[in-house]
Structure 1
């Protein structure tokens, strides 16, 4: 394994402005209380609060009403616990315990029931049910359908990550990029922001190749940047689900060299994103039935993706203790992780 002898997160030169909701700190406190109330976290609440989910939600939500920012922050909090719990099961060699949890979640998405076989009282499941009901209540039929599709893909990508860590093999960089678009957990959250902004784009717009390209580029930029921030932890615990680690392995270069390579890829991706934005609006203007209202809605969605790109970067640099925490950098589990969480019935 390549050595991480020196490391600093570069400036990715993101060409977007950003503002944060003035009540982001309050949203962070409410999301932390929600996690504690659902017993997803029972210790080290201050450390969990330091993740700053409310600050991230406040940076990526635009003009969304405050109650929707809190809901997004709560979903982010649940997602972090889900991710950390999955990591714990990988470390413990107990991934068999994961399947009933994900089966319950996907069953609820499909049928509104967690299923007779499911651990219906587990905090990960009860927390999801509480969030899912409130999330879907604020969504149009089309946005809800995308959310229902994105969550199982997100869960499946975690299974893929576990397989990569257990197989000893190497995925290609392109295979990783495609998986990372879902393991980033961004797409369900982007659905939530779209709904909170009151945007309801027809499916044929979402299906445009130019629109899909914009979304893919935005998610790639955010995900690859996060891989740089999270590199110390993932390297320390032998997790190769990281673009920097994969480039180092495939190109036989040092980790600092691979960080610079990822920085270069991000800069190229930003230029692609800006070009894809222009192509999208050209495609919209050529599309029969495009009126000013539809074009405005697409513009607002695109601006939201820009909020995500710059907001996630600023949050990681200045408002989140997760990536600077000594335990995290040493590859240890989070102090708030409940080793018994999956077994709770």
Structure 2
């Protein structure tokens, strides 16, 4: 597929404030060092640092401690490598090498044991083990259980993405939206932020339809916005895991018209978020048994979701070189991608 010639990201008019942790740049350097130390990246370290994982972590959890920011930045760095290595295997038609790695990650989540040769010599697996141990060690029971549930769903969604890239495969918009909530890799990170803020919302709060609607609308806003930023790469390499490309295909629009249509969808979803937030607090306030401290904690979590929406947008626009890189826009693999990282597993 041809490269997208002219393209500009619209302003999504996110009505939220945002402040960044003052040591975000230091966290970015530490996350880059962690990736290099674990040999997830061996070349083009400067290009990897340009992703700005520490800046993103600092924007979405600015109230948390510096140690929390660094750990989140390292997890984000691992997630970017995971995503890029998965893309590499799809391009090379080598997806059989993917299963031992994801099986090892899932098994470690379930058992706490690293079994098998893939676990012992693959940097994605050993990096995950290092992060997982430190993440779960500091997590309250609720966020830990949700983190354990969300990571396998995230991995499964990458399998779905691979299926969507087979010749002739194109998911419906609704199927894509549901998949994207997990392939965005946001939910485990949101679990980390909840714990990093010192919160442990009761599961019955997370199970409220109104609370789930808040989370889903926030994740959709972030994911669809990211699809607009990443459109040049995905369009150029024929990857249809992008809401803009799918709107263009299913609604018979040009790419430029589809960008405008997605911008409109994002604005509607922002309004959905605000309405869902109001309904959530109305429901909680109508229940006499609602503990004031729980309501306060919910308000802090909701504020963190707003930080995620505006923080991700600001990071992509001003602090991340990934979406402006010429290789990325041309649909090429990242310069730091290790071709042998997973094939050796």
Q: In structure 1, what is the equivalent of residue 319 of structure 2?
A: 319
In 1, the alpha carbon distance for the partners of 2:299 and 2:74 equals 27
2:271 aligned residue: 271
Is contact 1:3–1:255 with CA below 8 Å preserved after alignment?
A: no
Tell me the CA shift for residue 7 of structure 1.
Answer: 1.0
Task: Output aligned runs, 1:12-23, within 5 Å.
Answer: 12-23=12-23
Q: Match for residue 231 of structure 1?
A: 231
Distance 1:259 1:43, change over 3 A: same
Counterpart of 1:43 in structure 2 is 43
Write the distance in 2 (CA, Å) between the matches of 1:336 and 1:110.
31
Whole-angstrom CA distance in 1 between matches of 2:105 and 2:42: 22
Other-structure match for 1:92: 92
Residue 328 (structure 1) aligns with: 328
Which residue is equivalent to 2:76? 76
> What is the distance in 1 between the residues matched to 2:87 and 2:137?
31
Q: How much has 1:2 moved relative to structure 2?
A: 8.8
CA contact (8 A) 1:2 1:255 kept: no
Query: Does the 8 Å contact 1:328/1:334 carry over to 2?
Result: yes
3-state SS in 1 of match to 2:21: coil
Contact 1:237 1:331 in 2 (8 A): yes
- CA distance in 1 between counterparts of 2:74 and 2:246 reads 32
Name the residue aligned to 1:204: 204
1:321, distance to aligned residue in structure 2 (A): 0.1
Q: Which runs of 5+ in 2 are unaligned?
A: none
The Cα of 1:285 is off from its aligned counterpart by: 1.3
Contact residue 53 and residue 76 of structure 1 kept, 8 A: yes
The TM-score with structure 2 as length reference comes to 0.98
Alignment gaps of 5+ in structure 1: none
Quote the Cα distance in structure 2 between the aligned partners of 1:141 and 1:304: 20
Q: Supply the distance in 2 between the matched residues of 1:106 and 1:268 (Cα, whole angstroms).
A: 36
Give the structure 2 partner of residue 343 of structure 1. Answer: 343
Contact 2:3 2:329 (8 Å CA) reproduced: no
Listed as ranges, the matches of 1:1-345 within 5 Å are: 4-116=4-116, 118-344=118-344
Is the CA contact 1:2–1:248 (under 8 Å) kept in the aligned structure 2?
A: no
**For the Cα contact (< 8 Å) 1:45–1:336, is it kept in 2?**
yes
Q: Deviations over 1:301-327 (max 9, x none)?
A: 000000000000000000000000000
Q: Give, in angstroms, the shift of residue 31 of structure 1.
A: 0.2
Look up the SS of the partner of 2:342 in the other structure: helix
Distance 1:169 1:276 in 2: 34
Cα 1:2–1:45 change in 2 (3 A) is closer
Write the distance in 2 (CA, Å) between the matches of 1:288 and 1:203. 18
1:3–1:254 CA contact under 8 A, matched in 2: no
Contact between 2:161 and 2:241, CA under 8 Å: does it hold in 1? yes
Instruction: Using the TM superposition, give the Cα deviation of residue 62 of structure 1 relative to its aligned residue in structure 2, in angstroms.
Output: 2.7
Aligned length: 345
Could you list the per-position Cα deviations for residues 74-129 of structure 1 after superposition, in whole angstroms to 9, with x for gaps in the alignment?
Answer: 00000000000000000000000000000000000000013236432210000000
Aligned CA distance change for structure 1 residues 2 and 32 (closer, same or farther; 3 Å):
closer
Offset of 1:10 from its aligned partner? Answer: 0.2
Deviations along 1:181-210, whole A, 9 cap, x unmatched?
000000000000000000110000000000
CA contact (8 A) 1:122 1:343 kept: no
Contact 2:3 2:232 in 1 (8 A): no
Q: Retained in 1: the 8 A contact 2:35–2:78?
A: yes
How much is the aligned-residue C-alpha RMSD, in angstroms?
1.2
